[in-house]
Amino acid sequence: MLRQLMNTDEQLNLLTARHVDLISAGELKRKLTVAAKEKRGLRIKYGADPSAPDIHLGHVVGLNKLREFQDAGHTVVFIIGDFTGMIGDPSGKSATRPALSREQVAANAESYKRQIFKVLDPEKTEVRFNSEWLGGMKFEDVIRLSAHVTVAQMLARDDFSKRYAENRPISLVEFLYPLVQAYDSVMVKADVELGGTDQLFNLLLGRELQKVYGQEPQVVMTLPLIEGLDGVQKMSKSLGNYVGVNESAKDMFGKLMSVSDELMWKYFLHILCREPEEIKAMQAKVASGELHPRAVKDELGRCVVDRFVGAGEGQKASEEFARIFSQNELPDDMPDIKLSAEIGVIDLVVKAGFAPTNSEARRLIQQGGVRINDEQISDVKAVITPADGMILKVGKRKFARIVL
């Protein structure tokens, strides 16, 4: 049976699984009932910041939920914040959100579109750019829009209230950001908006602004922010604790095998959307010793790789990982580095593409992560005399062969 033929209660059970905040279940049920009677789908809004071209597994949590809405017969309105992306971080606190040129935003947006359709159905996705309505606004339009929100309302946002209490500056532009996101909801006539738990204030502001403009307020649903590979901070490319959906099978699998035993269950639930009962059964087997955590993690890695790289690629990556790390063998697809003279170890690591800068290469060496022919190099000033077939290893997963 197609999911769009489910009754309202069945849809509600599917669509509200794994959420954190829902405002409100009653409103969502009523919207689903009305839409079914009118034989139309709801409009589900989701916004994305195009400050970086890559989508990682943290984004997949939201994309999975959007796909469930699509499978139930609804339309996803995927908004790319190209206008706000060209402004950058208004607080000046973040170096990870610099102002981007129109060309950079456009390139990142195209990359986003290619990657989101690894999860979303393109036939049920409406991709919009908020420059469509924000780019043509005059200053008087911004003032009129701002008149609908009070400073007291803005200070109700948790991070704003804390900074205000601590006498730390808050720019007026920062106040405009939530307002812009709320106005996006008005312009696309959103029935439902999804976001991470850190977006709750902005999503609720969208409800309030829709009322001002005579629209029925959107239902707000937040989803959990999953921790990255470090198990502490939320997954982020800028923190280097991410798994990108466009990564190679080898890198994707290797990264997932480094996830903690505790965190892997969260990945099963929110990235692979396994049923809680199935996860509890696996946890019971691990607790009893019937199943080893490494075998569970191997399944996680194989399934994620199969989903984003291709069917059967997960098994290949698993076998390669076991061969390299369990049997201490070398990978088959090592890149070659052509050298004709002596080279400093820092320059070698950078030349191999295993570190973006000299300072990063120096850090890897000092941490004991660089080996030549399995001999650890700890001297950052070491000079390497190249020989045919010499193996450079950086970290646990990066190998290169030196050729003259």
Does residue 13 sit in the same domain as residue 85?
yes
Name the domain boundary from 275, 301, 326.
326
CATH of the domain at 120: 3.40.50.620
Does residue 392 sit in the same domain as residue 303?
no
Q: Which helix (H) or strand (E) holds 390?
A: strand 390-394
Q: Are residues 350 and 358 in contact, defined by beta-carbon separation less than 8 angstroms?
A: yes
Mean pLDDT across 353-382: 86
Q: Let me know if residue 105 belongs to a domain.
A: yes
Q: Let me know if residue 58 belongs to a domain.
A: yes
Cis, bond preceding 24 (omega within 30 deg of 0): yes
Q: Count the Cβ atoms, other than its own, within 10 Å of residue 238.
A: 13
Name the domain boundary from 295, 326, 357.
326
Angstrom distance (rounded) from CA 237 to CA 201: 24
**Residue 3, pLDDT above cutoff 60:** no
Query: Which residues make Cβ contacts (< 8 Å) with residue 241, sequence separation at least 6?
Result: 227, 228, 229, 230, 233, 235
3-state secondary structure of 150: coil
Q: Let me know if residue 295 belongs to a domain.
A: yes
Does residue 33 sit in the same domain as residue 141?
yes
pLDDT level of residue 51 (50, 70, 90 thresholds) = confident
Q: Let me know if residue 238 belongs to a domain.
A: no
Question: Which tops the pLDDT comparison, 102 or 288?
Answer: 288
pLDDT level of residue 329 (50, 70, 90 thresholds) = low
Mean pLDDT across 13-24: 95
Sole residue written with tokens 């923190």: 239
> For residue 2, what pLDDT is reported?
44
Does residue 217 sit in the same domain as residue 273?
no
Lowest-confidence range among 90-104, 124-138, 162-176, 365-379? 90-104
Does residue 322 sit in the same domain as residue 378?
no
Taking the whole predicted model, whether its pTM rises above 0.75 is answered as: yes
Q: What is the pLDDT of residues 165-217, one digit of tens each?
A: 888 888 887 888 889 899 999 999 999 999 999 899 999 999 999 999 999 99
Q: Let me know if residue 128 belongs to a domain.
A: yes
Mean pLDDT across 102-116: 83
pLDDT level of residue 121 (50, 70, 90 thresholds) = very high
Q: Let me know if residue 45 belongs to a domain.
A: yes
Does residue 319 sit in the same domain as residue 369?
no
Does residue 298 sit in the same domain as residue 373?
no
Does residue 68 sit in the same domain as residue 19?
yes
Does residue 316 sit in the same domain as residue 378?
no
Q: Let me know if residue 231 belongs to a domain.
A: no
pLDDT level of residue 327 (50, 70, 90 thresholds) = low
> For residue 98, what pLDDT is reported?
60
Angstrom distance (rounded) from CA 314 to CA 321: 10
Q: What is the pLDDT of residues 272-309, one digit of tens each?
A: 999 999 999 999 999 999 999 999 999 999 999 999 99
**What backbone torsions phi and psi does residue 400 show, to the nearest 5 degrees?**
-150, 150
Q: Let me know if residue 233 belongs to a domain.
A: no
Helical pair 8-15 and 57-71, crossing angle rounded to 10 deg = 180
Name the domain boundary from 174, 208, 223.
223
Does residue 320 sit in the same domain as residue 340?
no
Domain total of the chain: 3
Q: How confident is the prediction for the chain on average, in pLDDT?
A: 88
Does residue 117 sit in the same domain as residue 21?
yes
> For residue 1, what pLDDT is reported?
36
Handedness of CA 210, 109, 94, 256 (dihedral sign): positive
Does residue 314 sit in the same domain as residue 360?
no
CATH of the domain at 357: 3.10.290.10
Query: Which domain range does residue 188 map to?
Result: 3-223
